[in-house]
Copies of this chain bind each other. A is one copy, B any other.
Amino acid sequence: MWGGRFTQKLDPAAWALNTSLAVDRRMGMQDVQGSLAWAAALHQAGVLSEDEAAQIASGLQAIQAEFTAQSFTFSPDDEDIHSAVERRLFELCGQLAGKLHTGRSRNDQVATDFRLWMLQTLPDIENALLQLQNTLVFQAEQSQVTIMPGYTHLQRAQPILLSHWWLAHFWPLQRDRERLAQLAQRAAVLPLGCGALAGTPLPVDRQALAKALAFQTAAPNSIDAVSDRDFAAEFLFFAALCGVHLSKLSEAIVLFCSAEFGFFELSDAFSTGSSLMPQKKNPDIFELGRGKAGAFTGRLVSLLTTLKGLPSTYDKDLQEDKEPVFASADTLLALLPALAGAIQTITAHPERMLSAIDAGMMATDLADYLVRKGVPFRETHALAGKAVHAAYEQGLGLDGLPLAVYRSIHPAFEEDVYQVFDAWESVKRRTALGGTAPAAVQVQLAQAKESVQRKLLF
């Protein structure tokens, strides 16, 4: 494809390093789509006659059919997907195929293919995110009358609704979808027609070309167009942050499935066993959901570091852009459904959750009790702390501490103090927007359901 001025063939070691076919072969369909649009543009620009354009289009469609049927045969000499498609077009159309690359370079071609691939893949990822969000909504709906301990620092903190807890993992995914939709806008900027770096000398209407390929607009600067990989970096960041969200959710579920917590039980269909220990039922899916955050982050670093310090326009280093993006997309498309399935089939154990709520978790309510009696909070906090300490010393729960002790701590304590230890009452009090009270959670749940009605990708 580029051999004219060369007198030697590429050394085998150099060939092996240089070829990108193993990675970019999956962009076959996109390469043909881009070429079909380019052939039409060449016809409008007068480079191809109507007949020539038709022949090339028909050859490209035949190749498309081969990709669809998975019957396309790669040759060991194919350097990349572009040369493979062009080679096949020569086989189908003869020398005429040689006109297709007029005014185009692999630099604008590969950037176009890659963006097309992304634009066609992002909807699958949004769907997978939506599926997981729906699962969380499903679980949240089931658990509006279940209370559980809420934790900070992994210490029991305050009682919350399980429904509220599930929804806490819904909103990060909503933000992920927002980011996805926003990066899609920047991915939908067409490089085609920018040539190697300087633009094309042909009278091509690039905005029409953008429309034909379902892009939003054409890139405004040819140099930037062939070197811009922001969309790939943004996608990798989106995946990395989404991966962090999944790792947090997964970690929590791994904890809750432990014998010590015992809040959740996984379906057998989403658990695995041990080759040695017959009793084991392991939450592998969620451990993978946690562990894969590493690879997502690593791939982001990979591209950012590769891009760092590149002088501009096209450098071969950019060939490193696709492997991490494909890998992160594939991982998301494997991970999200597995997590959705595993979460959908989780059985919660409300009785275990309830029994994990001790009176100590209402210590804040105890302090609030004194606040209602007019003592400043900072003081009531210290007084409640004293009660906690006294109860600990006597091996009692806060609700078992005699009134006399309470009154010795502060005279404002009265018989009704024991009412604050009702966990349900504690939950119901937190009615402000975003709080864990059933009323507030109902509002939140409605909002979540509305959110999943709407796809954010154009």
Contact B341 A310 (CB under 8 A): no
Contact with B along A442-458 (1 / 0, CB 8 A): 00100100000000000
> Is A106 part of the binding interface, using a Cβ–Cβ cutoff of 8 Å?
yes
Contact B282 A155 (CB under 8 A): yes
> Is A356 part of the binding interface, using a Cβ–Cβ cutoff of 8 Å?
yes
Contacts of A337 in B (CB 8 A): 13
Contact A6 B273 (CB under 8 A): yes
Contact B304 A241 (CB under 8 A): yes
For A217, give the chain B residue with the smallest CB separation: B433
**Residues from 293 to 317 in A contacting B, C-beta threshold 8 Å:** 293-295, 297-317
Q: A5-B281, A193-B433, A311-B154 are in contact. Are A14 and B338 (CB under 8 A)?
A: yes
Chain A: interface secondary structure?
helix
How far, in whole Å, are A257 and B154 apart by their CA atoms in the complex? 8
Q: A158-B197, A194-B435 are in contact. Are A223 and B164 (CB under 8 A)?
A: yes
Contact with B along A361-397 (1 / 0, CB 8 A): 1011111100100001111011111111100100000
What are 15 A-B contacts with C-beta separation under 8 Å?
A: A11-B342, A13-B341, A14-B338, A154-B257, A195-B276, A218-B433, A248-B307, A248-B308, A278-B364, A279-B385, A279-B388, A291-B320, A298-B298, A298-B303, A298-B324
Q: A10-B269, A364-B277 are in contact. Are A288 and B18 (CB under 8 A)?
A: yes
Interface centre among A160, A218, A317 (most CB of B within 10 A): A317
Contacts of A18 in B (CB 8 A): 272, 284-285, 288, 338
Contact A105 B276 (CB under 8 A): yes
Contact A312 B222 (CB under 8 A): no
> Is A50 part of the binding interface, using a Cβ–Cβ cutoff of 8 Å?
no
Contacts of A384 in B (CB 8 A): 4, 278-279
Which of A24-32, A165-173, A399-407 contacts its partner? A165-173
Interface centre among A197, A225, A338, A447 (most CB of B within 10 A): A197
Interface centre among A159, A310, A379 (most CB of B within 10 A): A310
Contact A197 B150 (CB under 8 A): yes
* Residue of B14, B152, B271 touching A314 (CB-CB under 8 A): B152
Contacts of A179 in B (CB 8 A): 182, 234
Contact B385 A4 (CB under 8 A): yes
How far, in whole Å, are A432 and B206 apart by their CA atoms in the complex? 7
* Residue of B169, B312, B358, B379 touching A168 (CB-CB under 8 A): B312
Which of A61-69, A115-123, A258-266, A410-418 contacts its partner? A258-266
Chain copies in complex: 4
How far, in whole Å, are A86 and B309 apart by their CA atoms in the complex? 34
Considering the complex of A and B, which 4 residue pairs feature the smallest CB-CB distances, nearest first? A4-B385, A199-B435, A298-B302, A291-B317
How far, in whole Å, are A421 and B104 apart by their CA atoms in the complex? 20
Contacts of A244 in B (CB 8 A): 233, 304, 307-308
How far, in whole Å, are A220 and B168 apart by their CA atoms in the complex? 9
Q: A203-B432, A312-B252 are in contact. Are A172 and B224 (CB under 8 A)?
A: yes
Shortest distance between the CB of A86 and any CB in chain B (Å): 8
Contacts of A429 in B (CB 8 A): 201
For A18, give the chain B residue with the smallest CB separation: B284
Contact B278 A363 (CB under 8 A): yes
For A298, give the chain B residue with the smallest CB separation: B302
Contact with B along A189-223 (1 / 0, CB 8 A): 00001111111111111110000000000111111
How far, in whole Å, are A82 and B251 apart by their CA atoms in the complex? 27
* Residue of B103, B150, B302, B342 touching A223 (CB-CB under 8 A): B150
Shortest distance between the CB of A193 and any CB in chain B (Å): 6
Contact B298 A338 (CB under 8 A): no
